[in-house]
Amino acid sequence: MEDFNNPISFVAESDRQLLDAYSSTITRVVKGASQSVVHITVLKKVQDPRTRKMTEQPGLGSGFVISSDGYIVTNNHVIENAISITVAFADGLELKADLIGADPSTDIAVLKVYGGDLKALQFANSDELEAGLARLDVVPRAEFDLQTEVLRKTREKLEALEKRVAEFEARFPPPS
């Protein structure tokens, strides 16, 4: 049973419940969206600034499926000067992509892949956005693994701090 007379205990339990609810929501959103987020690998033709020779250079980026027939949005800088584009999905599927169009001034590009059972993300209504709303970035698996590890370590530190507070409270109970 919680001791509501002890503000530290009350806040800690409340924070834990909020964190668990937040984590559950984020997990649900990520599971739904991760099928539509892609990892993009490109090979670019670039000029070496020292030798002035054209060389091939690999590049990486991310994007997301906007239609089930294979259209993907990414950033122009990801695919600019690309001679080959490969898109990888969370389930391991890799497909070659064609560049459909790009706009350097807005840094947007549209790709097209053929094949696969693709799930599109839906665009939200930007008129409903307000300052202060939370934002969630869903990234390809490799990048997501790193972010998950950071969150896991943060949660471990919070749990260790909670344990230390509880030990402190046990040794030095608040006055009655």
Q: Identify whether residues 26 and 42 lie together within a single domain.
A: no
Q: What is the CATH number of the domain that holds 102?
A: 2.40.10.10
Cα distance between residue 169 and residue 163, in whole Å? 10
Residue 2, in any domain of the structure: no
Count: domains in the chain: 2
Q: Identify whether residues 58 and 100 lie together within a single domain.
A: yes
pLDDT of 53? 93
Q: Identify whether residues 42 and 29 lie together within a single domain.
A: no
Cα distance between residue 121 and residue 118, in whole Å? 10
pLDDT over threshold 80, residue 99: yes
Token output for 170 = 């046990």
- This prediction has a pTM of 0.65
Share in percent of the chain as helix, strand, coil (round to 5): 35, 30, 35
126-144 mean pLDDT? 68
Q: Identify whether residues 46 and 108 lie together within a single domain.
A: yes
Q: Identify whether residues 143 and 88 lie together within a single domain.
A: no
Residue 133, in any domain of the structure: no
21-29 mean pLDDT? 82
Which of 11-20, 72-81, 83-92 comes out lowest in average pLDDT? 11-20
Q: Identify whether residues 60 and 25 lie together within a single domain.
A: no
| 59-86 pLDDT per residue, tens | 888 899 999 999 999 999 999 999 999 9
Range of the domain at 29: 7-33+138-171
The letter for the amino acid at 136 is: L
Q: Please, are residues 7 and 56 in contact by the beta-carbon 8 Å criterion? A: no
Residue 165, in any domain of the structure: yes
Q: Identify whether residues 63 and 49 lie together within a single domain.
A: yes
pLDDT of 16? 75
